[in-house]
Amino acid sequence: MITVSKIATKNQEHFVKESILEVQNITKEVNSPEGVLTILKDVNLTINSGDVTSIVGPSGSGKTTLLAIMAGLDLPSRGRIKLMGHEITTMNEDKRAQVRSNDVGFVFQSFHLLPRLSALDNVMLPLEILGDKNAKKKSLEALDQMGLEKRVRHLPNQLSGGEKQRVAIARAMVKQPKILFADEPTGNLDKTSTEVISDLLFSINRSSQTTIVIVTHDLLLAQNCETMHELNEGSLKC
């Protein structure tokens, strides 16, 4: 069993639940050969600090689009997003990048580890962007906490699926974000690895009070979350 007791201490004092993410009347439309396609329709959602929230729904329901908009990776056609007090829907890309750089972590279904970088170099990447002089030390600690101390110099193609996702989680958590967005974090994993990664995410939440938003098909994982939302044809149901 992997523990995350040492990870992220800066949020541990936030026991009073307050909203960290507010989604107000979000609509997302895109142009397609068939005309304007509505992917999200008047979505409203509030996520409290320290919560683990899951968003489920069938393929094409708009889950990933909603996650991208909530995390500031994309902009809605209409509506507002307030992330950690910042109205990110009125910001330009560089301003949103600044919000993401300090307090937002990401985990992806395809891991997105850089293939020619070692596990350590992959984890160091977010800290190097911030110019953190202790990037190597912090990254080694993060990998250690993920149980990957013997995989530090390994390249992604020398790691199993579960190990790759643990490296990705270490990379997401190394800068101690306030909120972690996970897009299908167990989508590419076998049953055993799925359990390990699920436990790891909940363990992180418990130890560091990091807010976690998970978009998933995995109902077992979704049901273990404090709050579960279902997205269907662009509309949200609690």
Partner 1 sequence: MLNGFYYGLKKFWFDLRNGDLIILFSSIVLAVTAISGVSFLGDRLQSSIKQQASVVLAADMAFRSASPLPDDYLTSATNQGLGVAKTVSFLSMALANNDNLLASIKATTSTYPLRGSVVLKDFKGEVLSNEKGTPNSGYIWVEPKLVDALNLKQNNQLVIGNRSFVVEAILDDYPDRNVGFLAFSPTIIANIADLKSMGVIQTGSRVVYRQLFSGTEKQINLFFDSVSSLPEEVRVQRLDEVGDQLGRTLDRSTRFFNLAGLFTIVIAAISSMIAARRYATRHLLNTTLMKVFGASKKFILSSQICQLLIMIFLATSVGLCCGYLIQSLLISLLDELIGNELPPPSLKPVFIGFLTSFSLVFAATAPYLKLLGEVEPIRILRDDFAFHLKNNIGIYTLAIVTLTVFLLVLLEDVSLVLSILGAMCVLVIVLSVLGYFVIWLLSLYSNVSGSGWRMGLRNISRRRNTSVLQIVVFGLSLTFLMALTETRTDLIESWKETLNEDTPNYFFFNIQDYETDEINSFFKSKLEQPITFTPLIRGRLLGVTSSSGEPIKAENMIDREANLTWFDTLPENNLVVEGEWWLSDAGAPSVSIDKDIAASMNLSIGDRLSFTAGGMNFEATVSRFSEVQ
* Residues that bind partner 1 in the complex, under the rule CB under 8 A: 64, 67-68, 73-74, 93-94, 97-102, 104, 106, 108, 110, 112, 114, 116, 125-126, 128-131, 183
Nearest-approach distance from CB 200 to partner 1, in angstroms: 20
- Return the exposure string of 11-22: e unless at least 16 CB atoms fall within 10 Å of the residue's CB, then b: beebeeeeebbb
Task: Kindly tell me which of 28 and 151 has the beta carbon lying closer to partner 1.
Answer: 28
Contact 211, 19 (CB under 8 A): no
Q: Which amino acid is at 71?
A: A
Task: Kindly tell me which of 104 and 213 has the beta carbon lying closer to partner 1.
Answer: 104
Nearest-approach distance from CB 52 to partner 1, in angstroms: 20
- The CA R_g of the chain, rounded to the nearest whole Å, is 17
Structure tokens at 169: 């989680």
Q: How far apart are CA 167 and CA 52, in angstroms?
A: 21
Structure tokens at 179: 């909120």
Nearest-approach distance from CB 14 to partner 1, in angstroms: 21
Task: Kindly tell me which of 2 and 97 has the beta carbon lying closer to partner 1.
Answer: 97
Task: Kindly tell me which of 2 and 73 has the beta carbon lying closer to partner 1.
Answer: 73
